[in-house]
Amino acid sequence: MTARIREFLRNRRDDGPCMVLDLDVVRDNYRAFARSLPDTRVFYAVKANPAPEVLSLLASLGSCFDTASVAEIEMALAAGATPDRISYGNTIKKERDVARAYALGIRLFAVDCVAEVEKIGRAAPGSKVFCRILCAGVGAEWPLSRKFGCVPEMAADVLEHAHRLGLEAYGVSFHVGSQQRDTGAWDQALASASAIFRECAERGIHLSMVNLGGGFPTKYLKPVPGVKSYGNAIFRALSKHFGNRLPETIIEPGRGMVGNAGVIEAEVVLVSKKAEEDEVRWVYLDIGKFGGLAETMDEAIRYPIRTDHDGDDKVPCVLAGPTCDSVDVMYEKEPYWLPVSLEIGDKVLIEGTGAYTTTYSAVAFNGFPPLRSYVI
Ligand SMILES: *Cc1c(COP(=O)(O)O)cnc(C)c1O
């Protein structure tokens, strides 16, 4: 919570939940990444928060952009990024979208199998490709599934295929899992990456780049290491596995760039119990999983919640959203402790909500409008 956000909310007159994002925090985050990983290019993961103001600010600071669709590429271009500062980092692309991206000037693509390489070979001739490898995601609070990447042993074949098709086999990428609280998580993936570099070199293909992905955390309830610690740990792992021949590197922060810049203001719609004798109360807000808090799925992300009664005694509460869907419950397995004095109509502030909220909110489930976003 920043003074600017507090001031904005004090003067806000409209109704309904909203997310307010302070660009000063994004600027600080960008500079911290640039300082902590000085020889690494930053590709902001657009999906975390594609607000035009965020993209324009980052473009002006020199950031590059990791995109997953033609629409995101167009947003990055509209924000002032040139095509050479944009990667098409999704491993799942229609060939005609690859062609559209190529027509827009994009020359850097992610792949994780031969069939995807073939699409790039046909629709984006001569482009650079990097091969994404699977990563265990241990230590991440929002771990990624096996959806993206191939086993490291397969990567050299994928890259060799690219090379044969006249593409530039550029490097290797991975993602250590989102909200990764272990700064050592990059070590194993970098060991795999260096093995792929060696295997390719033996086949006469000289890779240049390692894409270190995202995963940099936002502080929610538990403490997280600072960006500098991540930079140091990554640099140590790079030196360990690549020696003096350090590759070019890029990072793709999403959550770590915008998460702590945003706050959601929501309203208590109902406080109730399921039985008179229950200790646990149900607190229904005007925002839930379908209004932007999708990352409460499996109670993975626990947001800090502030109220005007935080000094009062607290009681365990199940938190739920306003829709008529029974899965729209946020914290039930591990109830959330909120002030006993919290009442219908009170405002609550949900912190650390600058990433993965506005983009996750439904268009109009049950007629609730999408999460309103203010960038200040
Ligand atoms: C979503 C995504 C990111 C951003 O991840 P964070 O954990 O939010 O930093 C980076 N790279 C790729 C390829 C992604 O899909």
Rg of the chain in Å (alpha carbons): 22
Please say if the pLDDT value at position 1 is more than 90: no
The chain-wide mean pLDDT, for the chain, equals 97
Distance (Å) of CA 88 to CA 28, 50, 94, 187: 26, 15, 12, 25
Cα 119 to averaged position of ligand 1 atoms, centre (Å): 23
Separation between Cα atoms, residue 350 and residue 352, nearest integer Å: 7
182: left (phi over 0), alpha (psi -120 to 50) or beta: beta
Q: Is 324 a catalytic residue?
A: yes
Please say if the pLDDT value at position 39 is more than 90: yes
For residue 108, how far is the Cα from the chain centroid?
A: 20
Neighbours of 240 (CB within 10 A): 12
Cα 12 to averaged position of ligand 1 atoms, centre (Å): 32
pLDDT grade, residue 374 (50/70/90)?
very high
254 within ligand 1 shell (Cβ under 6 A):
yes
292 within ligand 1 shell (Cβ under 6 A):
no
Please say if the pLDDT value at position 194 is more than 90: yes
Mean pLDDT of 199-209: 98
Please say if the pLDDT value at position 140 is more than 90: no
Separation between Cα atoms, residue 47 and residue 356, nearest integer Å: 7
- For domain 23-258, the CATH architecture is Alpha-Beta Barrel (3.20)
Separation between Cα atoms, residue 73 and residue 81, nearest integer Å: 9
| Helices 52-61 + 70-78 axis angle, to 10 | 60
276-294 as b/e: b if 16+ CB within 10 A: eeeeebbbbbbbbbbbbbb
48 within ligand 1 shell (Cβ under 6 A):
yes
Please say if the pLDDT value at position 137 is more than 80: no
Please say if the pLDDT value at position 144 is more than 90: no
Cα 152 to averaged position of ligand 1 atoms, centre (Å): 19
pLDDT value of position 15: 93
Nearest-atom index, ligand 1, CA of 173:
13
| Helices 52-61 + 23-36 axis angle, to 10 | 40
**Sequence spans of domains, the chain:** 23-258, 260-375
Please say if the pLDDT value at position 86 is more than 90: yes
Query: How close are the terminal C-alpha atoms of the chain, in Å?
Result: 13
Tell the burial category of 11 from Cβ atoms under 10 Å away from its Cβ (0-12, 13-18, 19+): exposed
pLDDT value of position 63: 98
pLDDT tens string 225-273: 999 999 999 999 999 999 999 999 999 999 999 999 999 999 999 999 9
304: left (phi over 0), alpha (psi -120 to 50) or beta: beta
pLDDT tens string 295-306: 999 999 999 999
Look at the chain and count its residues: 376
180-213 as b/e: b if 16+ CB within 10 A: bebbebbbbbbebbbbbbebbeeeebebebbbbb
252 within ligand 1 shell (Cβ under 6 A):
yes
CATH number given to 260-375: 2.40.37.10
